Amino acid sequence: MALARGRQFLAIPGPTNIPLRILKALDRPAMDFTTPEFAAVAEEVQHGLRRIFKTEHDIFIWASTGHGAWEAAVANFYAAGEKVLICETGSFSEWWLEMAKLFELDAEYLPGDWRQGIDPAKLEERLRADKTHEIKGIGVVHNETSTGLTNDLAAIRKAIDAAGHPALLMVDTISSLASMDFRMDEWGCDVVVGGSQKGLMQHAGLGLLGVSAKAVQRTDMSDRPRRYWDIRRSLQAPIHMRNPGTAPAHFFYGLKEAIDFLEEETLDGVFDRHAKLAGAVRAAITEWAKGGQIDFYVKNEARRSNSVTAVEMVGGGSSDKFRFGCRDDFNVMLGGGLLSLADKVFRIGHLGDLNAPMVWGILAAIEATMKRQGIAYGPGGVEAAIAYLAD
């Protein structure tokens, strides 16, 4: 309809808005990636990413999506038949588990409640039971993008330490990195998976992998076939030559700009902005939920994510009909439900290059769509979001 004009408001949980200054940084001719000029940029990006991961260790960068970094995480550190424990959180934990199985690891799923998040006590119990330390790796999705839930990594680390377990801690930070607090070294994360298209505000196409010294020691124990993902070869190369094949050089210029942009705001400032915007989204949903037809999918209030919120159609409506209506009527694109949540939840992405009026606009479009589609909602959601940020 006539109102669906102008620039689309992208309210999916990634890819996120790409700021103009990053688009401009990408706008350059092809270059020889063996030059000292590119080497200097690659070095800067490596050190900038380490500041964002909060690590002193290496970050490997591939031209891939986050799936590539997931694959690198399962291909580099384990032999066939070795046990890894993946903690159930939602669709993304399911897919990581599936990938570990495809690589012939003995992948065990630690059952978990998608609405509550990982229970560190249950993890500790499972690890204490593993007296012979059969489990070599533990996989945790920091921010489960399919449900909008952030797991407590500090508590998870504490649980692993309390059990005295030496397994590698593998963490997926794809939808938390550069939008909420993450501390690779302090939280003892050994293998950290990231991507370019969320908090780092790039287009999709980079897989990132932070690797601790403890994880590097396991690379020779892996017997999994790997060429593209093999970090042993990369470790021998100078930083700008670490990519197998041609370096995706443009991306490095985009990343360098993103790192500068984030550091100008300060990482704490970025996290604080995300927390505030998420608070406004939650304030609106809290009011709307009083109408009885939509509600938060995540019931553990303390674990509701600052980068994405999943809203459940508790009244039984179709979340796809809802979000396509929102797109067609108001040009606001919401995320859909994944796997068992398909057509049951819509997801509001509130991460990346985003400010208060953008969030208010997204929330106003959601409220207007509920009105158009006859979904009963408690009044005052948008006002609550305005008050939340204005006060």
Of 23-31, 168-176, 310-318, 343-351, the segment contacting ligand PLP by CB under 6 A is 168-176
* Least distance (Å) between residue 221 CB and ligand PLP: 25
**Angstrom distance (rounded) from CA 112 to CA 308:** 20
Q: Which of 304, 285, 261 is nearest to 17 (CA)?
A: 261
Closer residue to ligand PLP (CB): 150 or 369: 150
Tell me how far CA of residue 224 lies from CA of 135, 194, 331, in angstroms: 17, 21, 46
Contact call for residues 110 and 89 (beta carbons, < 8 A): no
Closer residue to ligand PLP (CB): 243 or 293: 243
**Is 67 one of the binding residues for ligand PLP (CB under 6 A)?**
yes
- How many residues sit close enough to ligand PLP to count as binding (CB under 6 A)? 12
Selected binder of ligand PLP within 82, 94, 124, 172 (CB under 6 A): 172
Number of residues that this document lists for the chain: 391
Closer residue to ligand PLP (CB): 175 or 309: 175
Question: Burial letters for 334-344: b for 16+ Cβ neighbours within 10 Å, e otherwise?
Answer: bbbbbeebeeb
Closer residue to ligand PLP (CB): 48 or 148: 148
**What is the sign, positive or negative, of the torsion defined by CA atoms of 383, 384, 389, 391?**
positive
**Angstrom distance (rounded) from CA 63 to CA 247:** 8
Closer residue to ligand PLP (CB): 14 or 120: 14
**Is 251 one of the binding residues for ligand PLP (CB under 6 A)?**
no
**Angstrom distance (rounded) from CA 240 to CA 243:** 8
Of 126-134, 169-177, 224-232, 341-349, the segment contacting ligand PLP by CB under 6 A is 169-177
Which tokens go with 383?
A: 């006002």
**Is 92 one of the binding residues for ligand PLP (CB under 6 A)?**
yes
* Least distance (Å) between residue 14 CB and ligand PLP: 5
Of 63-71, 80-88, 101-109, 309-317, the segment contacting ligand PLP by CB under 6 A is 63-71
Q: Name the DSSP class of 136.
A: E
**Is 309 one of the binding residues for ligand PLP (CB under 6 A)?**
no
Could you say which residues in the range 197-236 bind ligand PLP, by CB under 6 A?
A: 204
Selected binder of ligand PLP within 141, 298, 364, 365 (CB under 6 A): 141
Closer residue to ligand PLP (CB): 85 or 384: 85
Of 167-175, 269-277, 283-291, 349-357, the segment contacting ligand PLP by CB under 6 A is 167-175
- 3-state secondary structure labels for all residues of 193-227: EEECCCCCCCCCCEEEEEECHHHHCCHHHCCCCCC
225: preceding bond cis by omega (within 30 degrees): no
Of 1-9, 62-70, 180-188, 279-287, the segment contacting ligand PLP by CB under 6 A is 62-70
Residue with tokens 């200097």: 40
Contact call for residues 179 and 271 (beta carbons, < 8 A): yes
Closer residue to ligand PLP (CB): 66 or 336: 66
Closer residue to ligand PLP (CB): 308 or 375: 308
**Angstrom distance (rounded) from CA 105 to CA 122:** 22
**Is 65 one of the binding residues for ligand PLP (CB under 6 A)?**
yes
Closer residue to ligand PLP (CB): 338 or 385: 338
What's phi and psi for 245, nearest 5 deg?
90, -150
Residue with tokens 């020889």: 32
Could you say which residues in the range 3-22 bind ligand PLP, by CB under 6 A?
A: 14
Helix H or strand E segment including 172: strand 168-172
Residues that bind ligand PLP (CB under 6 A): 14, 65-67, 92, 141, 145, 172, 174-175, 195, 204
